[in-house]
Amino acid sequence: MASRFWASCLLFISPLVWAENGFISYFKTEDGRTNWQYIANFSSGVLIILLSISALILLLIWRKAWHANRELTAIRNELELRVEQRTAELRASETYIQNILRSLPLMLVGLDRSGKITHWNQRAEEIAGIPMEEALGHDLWQIYPTISIAPDQIRQALDQNQTLYFKQNQSGLYYFNITIYPLQDQSEAGVVLLIDDVTQKIIAENMLIHNDKMATMGELAATMAHDINAPLQAILFDLSSYQSLLEKSTLMNDESQCNREVMRLSTLLTDASEKGRQVAAIINNLLNFARRRSDEKQAAQLPEVMEHAIELARDVLNLPDQPAFRDIQIERNYQANLPPIPCYVIELQQAFLNLLRHAYEALIACPRDITPTLRISMQEYYDQAIWIKIEHNGLGLNHEEQMSLFEPFFSQDQQGEPDDAHKRLSFPYFIITEQHQGHMAVTSDVNSGTTFHMQIGR
C-alpha cells in the first residue's frame, strides 16, 4: 500500500509518466472498477505534499519576516534613540535660548499684532515689577501703562515691516535705547521690543568727557593765571611803592588844595591795591584748582570744604558800591562728628563757591530792607548721606528762573548780557548729581529768599 502511495506521488510529480502510462488506469482495478482506496491515498499524499510545501514556504516567509522584523526593531530602537537625543538637544537648546533671553541685561518683550504679551524676560520683571506669569497673554499697556512706547509705533513697525530705533532720556535720571523690530517668517505677525538701559554707560561717558574738560580747563587756568600773575604782581608793587612815596612826601602835611588832591589820589591807590589783591586771590584760586584737582575721590570733611569755599568767597566776592561778602552774616549749623565723605575736593569746593556767589548776588540785589544773612547747615541722613542746605533771605527766584536754573546757558545774541550766565548753576548741579551721584534741588520765593538742598552719599 505504501508502494502504491509513493508511486502515486511519483506519478503526481512526474506528468510525463502520467501521460505515458495513463493516469486514470492507476485508479482502476483489474476488473475496471474504481479503486477508491487509491484515490483517497493519492489525495492524502497530494494534500500532505502541498501542506509540507506550504509549511516550508511559510517557514521561509516567517524566517524572512523575523529577520526583517529584527532589522525593523533595530531601526526603530535606533530612531527612538535618535529622537530622544534630538528631543533632549532641542529641549536643551530651547532651555538655553530661553535662559539667554531671560538673562539678557536689557528689557525684552514679545508682542502679537493685538498688543498681547508673548514673551517677558527677567529684566522686564525687574523694571516693571510684574512677574512673567501675570504678564503673558495680557495687553502691554494694561499691564505696564507707564511704558513710553505707543501702540502707533508698534503698528508702524508691523505695517512697514521695518525696524524702528529711537532714544528716550531724562537728563541726569535715565537713558534708554529702544528697538522695535517685526518678526520674520512667522505664521502670526508680531514684534519684539528691546529696551536697553544705558544710563550707567552715558553717565560714565559724561564723566570721561567732564574729566577731559576739567583737565583742559585746569591747564588753561594755570596758563592764564601764570600769564596774568606776573604783570599783576608788578602793578601791585608799583602801586605799593607809589603809595609809600606819597605817605613820606611833605605834600601829605600841607593843608592846601594840593594836599586834598594827594589824599584823594592816595585813597584811589589804596582801592586799586585792594582790587589788585582781590584779582590775586582769584588767580591763586585758579592755580589751586589746576594744581590740586585729582581724578580720584578723596575722603574729606564737608564742613572743612565749605569753610574753604567761604574763605575764597570772602577774598573774591566784592562788587563796587555794594557790601562785600565778608560783611554778610553767616549762620552755621553743622552736625557734630560728621563722617568723612569720599569726594572730589577741588570740584566740590568750586561748586560751593558758585552757590555762595549766586547767594551773594541775590542778597545785594534784594530791594527789601533786610540784614543779609546766609544760613548753612549739614546733617547726616540715616548713616547713608550728608544733607546740605544753603539758605539766604535775599531776592528769590520766580518759577521760570527755577525751571532753568540748572540748565547750561546758551545765547545766540552777540550783544546779550554776559551776567545771565551767572544766574545758572549747571556746573554745581553737574558736580553734585553726576560726579558725586548725589541730588540737588532748589526751593525759592521771590519775597523770602532761596534754599539749595543737596544730598551727597557716603
* pLDDT tens digits, 245-257: 666 665 555 555 5
Strand order in the sheet with 164-170: 117-120, 107-112, 190-197, 174-182, 164-170
Tell me how many domains the chain contains: 4
Select, from the ranges 1-10, 184-193, 390-399, the one with the highest average predicted confidence (pLDDT). Answer: 390-399
In a domain, 372, yes or no: yes
**Structural contact between residues 5 and 38, judged by C-beta atoms closer than 8 angstroms:** no
pLDDT of residue 291: 57
State the pLDDT at residue 452.
93
Which pLDDT score is estimated for 20? 47
Please give the Cα distance from 455 to 458 (Å, whole number).
10
Among 255, 446, 442, 277, CA closest to 365: 446
Q: How far apart are CA 423 and CA 451, in angstroms?
A: 15
Shared domain check, 366 and 398: yes
Alpha carbon distance 203, 433 (integer Å): 10
Residue ending a domain, among 197, 216, 232, is 197
| Positive or negative torsion for Cα 192, 197, 198, 201 | negative
Instruction: Assess whether pLDDT exceeds 80 at residue 323.
Output: yes
Last residue of a domain, one of 197, 231, 250: 197
Q: What is the rounded radius of gyration, in angstroms, for the C-alpha atoms of the chain?
A: 51
**Same domain, yes or no: 261 and 304:** no
Residue 93 lies in a domain: no
Using 50, 70 and 90 to split pLDDT, how confident is the model at 42? confident
Q: Is residue 99 assigned to a domain?
A: no
Confidence check: pLDDT of 23 > 70: no
Question: To the nearest whole number, what is the mean pLDDT of the chain?
Answer: 77
Q: Which helix (H) or strand (E) holds 181?
A: strand 174-182
443 and 399 inside one domain: yes
- 3 pLDDT more than 50: no
Residue whose cell numbers read 567761604: 310
Residue 214 has pLDDT above 70, yes or no: no
Q: What is the pLDDT of residue 246?
A: 64
pLDDT > 80? residue 279: no
Statement to judge: residues 416 and 325 lie in one domain: yes
Q: Cell 547713608 sits at which residue?
A: 384
The band of 17, judged by pLDDT with boundaries at 50, 70 and 90, is: very low
State residue 243's pLDDT score: 65
Contact present, 188 and 112 (Cβ < 8 Å):
yes
Give the range of the structural domain holding residue 13, as residue numbers without chain letter: 2-76
Q: Does 377 score more than 80 pLDDT? A: yes
**What is the pLDDT at residue 191?**
85
Instruction: Flag whether pLDDT at 14 surpasses 60.
Output: no
Cβ density class 336-366: b for 16+ within 10 Å, e for less: eeeeebebbbbbbbbbbbbbbbbbbbbbbeb
* Whether the predicted pLDDT of 288 surpasses 60: yes
The pLDDT of residue 425 is above 50: yes
